[in-house]
Each structure stands twice: as C-alpha cells, then as structure tokens.
Amino acid sequence: METLKFADMKLSSEILQGIQSMGFEKASPIQSMTIPLILEGKDIIGQAQTGTGKTAAFGIPMIEKIDKSNKQIQGLILCPTRELAIQVAEELGRLLKFIPEVHVLPVYGGQPIEHQLKSLRSLRPQIIVGTPGRIYDHIDRKTIRLETVHMVVLDEADEMLNMGFRDAIEEILKFVKDEAQTVFFSATMPKAILHLTKTYQTNPEHVQVARQQMSAPLIEQFYLEVRNDQKIDALSRLLDLNHTKLSVVFCNTKRRVDDVVEHLERRGYLVGGLHGDLKQRDRDRVMGNFRKGTVEILVATDIAARGIDVDDIEAVYNLDLPYDEEDYVHRIGRTGRVGRKGKAFTFVVGREMNNLKRIGQFTNSKILPTKLPTVTDVEENKANQLVDKIKETIKAGGLERSISLIERIMVDETNSLDIAAALLKMLSEPKKRAKEAVEAPRDRVSDRPRSSTGNFSRGPSRDRDDRSGPPRRDDRGRDDRGPRRPSSEGFRRK
C-alpha cells in the first residue's frame, strides 16, 4: 500500500525531529493507517503482525495529545510482559527526545514497588507503560490514579489475554473515564478481544494490515522433515551452514529449552536460554548478552520470547512445531523486522506435516521444503568461509610480523605450504573450546532433574510453557504471569 510520510501527518515539529533522529524514513503501513485516525480522536482496533511498527503507531499520536504543562497521568499503555513494557517506554523515550517536558515511566511486576513509588513521585510521568497486574496493584494502593487518563492503549492484547490478564485489564479499564480514547493492538482477533471492544470502545475503527502487506513475505520460510532424535544434530548443521550472527531457537516447553541449551553448549555454541522459570536477573543477563552478541543463539519458549525486540536476528528455528498458527506468526516475526530479511526453519516430525499445512494456509505464506544439509555441505561451507576470510586478511595487509615469524619457522622446518596447512588446522579445531571458555555461567535453573538421555522423543509434553495451567506466583512477584484475581472489594467504579 501507499504509505505516508511522517511530514504529511500534521505532527508537531518536536515529534518530527524525534522521528527523524530515530532514522525512520516513512511510516509503516500500520502507522500510515492508524496515526491519522488516532490523532482525530477515533477509537481503534488495530491488527498487524509483530515487527510492523505498532509502538510508534500509538506512541506518536499519544505523545501529540499530551498536555505538556499538566503533570498528571494522561496516557496509559498496557503490555503483556516486563520486557515489552521497558521496550515500549524506551521507544517512547526516543520519540520524546525533543520534548523534555513529557515523561514516560515503565511500571512492572518484579521491580520493588517502593522504587516505583519514588519514580512516580519524582518524575511525575504523563505516560505510564505497565503490565496489568502491577498497574492494578498501584490502582489498589491509590498510588496510580487514572481519572486524568484520556488515552489507553492495549499493546499485544491477544497475548495479554492468553496470559490470563483479562480480569485485570477489565478492572483497570473500569477506572478510566468513559470518554477516554481507546486503542487496542493485537496480532490476532480472538472473541475475547471483540468482547473488550464492545464493552470499552466507542464506534471503533477496525484497521487491519492485510497479510500480503505484513512483514512475513520478507521472511523466507522453510521446513525440514526429521525424526525427533535428529533434531539437535539437524539444528547444529543448519546453524553452521547458515552462519548467522544472531538466531532464536523456539521450543515448546521450558524443560526442552534447558535440554537444548545444554546440548548446544556442549557443542561449543554461544547459547543462552530464556523461559518463565528463570529468575528475572538471569533473563536480563541472557538478553543483555544476546544484544551484545556474546550469546549468539537464544533458545526460548513462546512466552519468554514475547519481549525479544532485537532487530538483527537473522534466523528463527522452530525446533518444535508450535501448537498454533498464532505462535508461528509471533515466532517467525522475531526475524525480518521492519524491512530486514530473515529466514525461518521449522522442523516437522511425521504427522505434524498436516499442522504445518494449516499454518501455511493461515499465514498465507509459502513454507518451502528444504533438505537437511549433509556434513559435507557444512564442511564445504565452512571451508569457503575460511578461504574468504584468508583472502580478506591478505588484502587488508599488515602481515609483516607474521611473515617474519613464518620465515623463522622456515629456517629449520619444511615448506610454507605445510606451515600454512598446519595453521589452518589449528584454526579450525580449537575454536569451539575457546568459545566455551568465554561463555557466561549457565543461564538456567539448576535445581531441576534433567534428562540425560539426549534424545527428544518426549513428544508434545504436558509441561508446555507458561501460558497453560493456573496462574501462579513466581519469583518475580505476581505480575507478568497471571493476574491476581481482583477481590470484589477495592474495585469500585467511580
């Protein structure tokens, strides 16, 4: 579709400067369609995949509508996870670079509430970005008041509902005045969202980025038929062949993440695991290392990966076929973000082929068959990379010291061909062990019994990731996992 230029959107010069400094050239389709409508004051229900620029789609008009001279909370954004809340707040912070009077504060579970109270008092933010559980806590304590809020955003609404935040969201929305503008974003539109729309929105415009315009076509999608016990081997061959810098491997269970991390670690990859059982501290460390590149392969469950917003992920591997189409869309959306290219590989075992077909139809995308690379393919590819690197090094020059060293060896040793060959051999062998040495302490809970069989034939097991089962407390406090059921007391419509 025709996308708009930000300059044609009747935006203030301060925000245009902010957008400019972020390097955005033109608005993405969802931004082109929603920003003008939101500026007009319309309630919106927006549907678009991950990586389509939804944050700025609601962030830009929200910022435009903030009364700078007023220090009360005017905008509220609800996100499913702490990571996402932080990322949204950061993106808004960048947009606000030239509007110092407006402040944004992320408020999420897991962070000490006293700390948040201090920030709320000292920063006086006009925009709050938070996870539903913790926002509700603050409302309950009367430390956040929503009477002055005139715009509410639900970001990744489907995901928040999946995580069991429905009650918390509804309770929060009840505290917002009826006239407030509401903007709901969701990759999918399950019934529960339509219910929220009916109850809390006024004549909402349903804006949908058609599938063909979504970022999916930029992602090349492949599938491989394997046996369960071949998966890890197949994965490492693909990792070696593709030679990607950053990639994400998806598993269906937390257990499986631990297993895969262990296996890949043993094979010398720079790998980190991410799932709901890890302490927040560990999750932050893994993500930090992934951003820095000291972890190159992130192994994650669906929920844990929701907050991953790293732009240069080159490949996604679905080691386990996701259970539903939506997860597939979310997973592959981790690569190919806004205009970049990416590849997605999905392993299918036996009858799972039928599910894959369904996923292909749902996402309206071509998932092409590909063969497991042979060991020779991988070796050849590695050799080619090495040859390229050698050529580059020669071209770059500055080899004088090395040459004089070689000359010293050549005084009593063989010929230069032998020396070069020996160096090559040394270069390709101990590398993996060196990698292992720099790897950070293992990123996983260590007190759980782990299978040592090394095969993965458990099949779709019951310990599916975070979303199933009753909400429970974990070490991050009650938020991000499932809401606390609001007691009937304490919730009163004004």
Interface with ligand ADP, residue 188, by CB under 6 A? no
The residue at minimum Cβ distance from Mg ion is 54
Q: Which does 338 bind (CB under 5 to 8 A by kind): Mg ion, ligand ADP, none?
A: ligand ADP
Q: Which does 337 bind (CB under 5 to 8 A by kind): ligand ADP, Mg ion, none?
A: ligand ADP
Interface with ligand ADP, residue 81, by CB under 6 A? no
Q: Which is nearer to ligand ADP, 92 or 239 (CB)?
A: 92
Interface with ligand ADP, residue 51, by CB under 6 A? yes
Q: How far apart are CA 427 and CA 253, in angstroms?
A: 37
Interface with ligand ADP, residue 53, by CB under 6 A? yes
Cα dihedral sign, 24-26-32-38: positive
| Contact pattern from residue 366 through residue 395 relative to ligand ADP, giving x for each residue in contact according to CB under 6 A and a dash for the rest | ------------------------------
Q: Which is nearer to ligand ADP, 130 or 477 (CB)?
A: 130
Name the minimum Å distance from CB 215 to Mg ion: 12
Name the minimum Å distance from CB 284 to ligand ADP: 19
Name the minimum Å distance from CB 416 to ligand ADP: 49
Name the minimum Å distance from CB 476 to Mg ion: 21
Name the minimum Å distance from CB 272 to ligand ADP: 21
Size of the site for ligand ADP (CB under 6 A): 16
Interface with ligand ADP, residue 334, by CB under 6 A? no
- Tell me if 265 sits within 8 A of 299, measured CB to CB: no
Interface with ligand ADP, residue 231, by CB under 6 A? no
Q: Which is nearer to Mg ion, 311 or 407 (CB)?
A: 311
Binds ligand ADP by CB under 6 A, chosen from 33, 38, 43, 54: 54
| Residues in 46-65 at the binding interface with Mg ion, rule: CB under 5 A | 54
Interface with ligand ADP, residue 46, by CB under 6 A? no
3-state secondary structure the chain: CCCCCHHHHCCCHHHHHHHHHCCCCCCCHHHHHHHHHHHHCCCEEEECCCCCCHHHHHHHHHHHCCCCCCCCCCEEEECCCHHHHHHHHHHHHHHCCCCCCCCEEEECCCCCHHHHHHHHHHHCCCEEEECHHHHHHHHHCCCCCCCCCCEEEECCHHHHHHCCCHHHHHHHHHCCCCCCEEEEEECCCCHHHHHHHHHHCCCCEEEECCHHHCCHHHEEEEEEECCHHHHHHHHHHHHHHHCCCEEEEECCEHHHHHHHHHHHHHCCCCEEEECCCCCHHHHHHHHHHHHHCCCCEEEECCCHHHHCCCCCEEEEEECCCCCCHHHHHHHHCCCCCCCCCEEEEEEECCCHHHHHHHHHHHHCCCEEECCCCCHHHHHHHHHHHHHHHHHHHHHHCCCHHHHHHHHHHHHHCCCHHHHHHHHHHHHHCCHHHHHHHHCCCCCCCCCCCCCCCCCCCCCCCCCECCCCCCCCCECCECCCCCCCCCCCCCCCCC
Name the minimum Å distance from CB 352 to ligand ADP: 27
Interface with ligand ADP, residue 311, by CB under 6 A? yes
Q: Which is nearer to Mg ion, 271 or 303 (CB)?
A: 303
Q: What are phi and psi of 419, to 5 degrees?
A: -65, -45
Name the minimum Å distance from CB 381 to ligand ADP: 30
Place of tokens 């062990």: 433
Binds ligand ADP by CB under 6 A, chosen from 82, 337, 343, 484: 337
Choose the binding region for ligand ADP from 52-60, 123-131, 165-173, 353-361 (rule: CB under 6 A).
52-60
Q: Which is nearer to Mg ion, 15 or 129 (CB)?
A: 129
| Contact pattern from residue 341 through residue 370 relative to ligand ADP, giving x for each residue in contact according to CB under 6 A and a dash for the rest | ------------------------------
Name the minimum Å distance from CB 18 to Mg ion: 18
Interface with ligand ADP, residue 52, by CB under 6 A? yes
Choose the binding region for ligand ADP from 27-35, 139-147, 190-198, 282-290 (rule: CB under 6 A).
27-35
Q: How far apart are CA 162 and CA 301, in angstroms?
A: 14
Residues at the contact surface with ligand ADP, assessed by CB under 6 A:
24, 27-28, 31, 50-56, 91, 309, 311, 337-338
